[in-house]
Amino acid sequence: MKMLRKNLVIVYETVAPIAGLMLLLSCLALAQQGKSGSGKSDLTGRYEGTAKNKAEDVITVTLELTEKESALSGMIRSSHGDFPVTGGSHKGDAVTIEFDAGSQGTISLHLSEDKLVGTWSAGDDGGPIDVKKAGAQEEAPKGKS
């Protein structure tokens, strides 16, 4: 009986620190996962700017985007018409938007702070696009009162 008790104490003394370490590592991993998820910028909002087509026409563009679990939906409003967003994704600073312009259209963008910059294509047309989140203003210098 003494031997069994001694063996149980040895097992407990060996397993308890390992179990505690595993619990600590699990908690740290969950905390880190929460940080990385909340650090990612949500694209939901209204973006305004311009695009150009192959003819170099300047096109006013408004992207009305909703992001849910890295998937995109919404509407593209432009001086050439309105187009529903049919899909898209947001991974890191890479953004892809798919839209219906009578044929499949695609916008490939790079996210930098409150700006989306990249290229668009639909059918045999396309060009650069540059939009900024509406309401995002550069902070003006404050004067003394």
Q: Distance (Å, rounded) from C-alpha 88 to C-alpha 76?
A: 13
Q: pTM value?
A: 0.67
> pLDDT per residue over 86-109, tens digit each?
999 999 999 999 999 999 999 999
In a domain? residue 140? no
Q: What is the CATH number of the domain that holds 116?
A: 2.40.128.120
Looking up tokens 């992001």, which residue turns up? 67
Q: Report pLDDT for 94.
A: 94
Residues 71 and 5 in one domain: no
Domain span holding position 23: 1-39
Residues 64, 46 contacting (CB under 8 angstroms): yes
In a domain? residue 63? yes
> pLDDT per residue over 9-66, tens digit each?
665 576 556 655 455 555 555 544 444 344 457 899 999 999 999 999 999 999 999 9
Residue 119 has pLDDT above 60, yes or no: yes
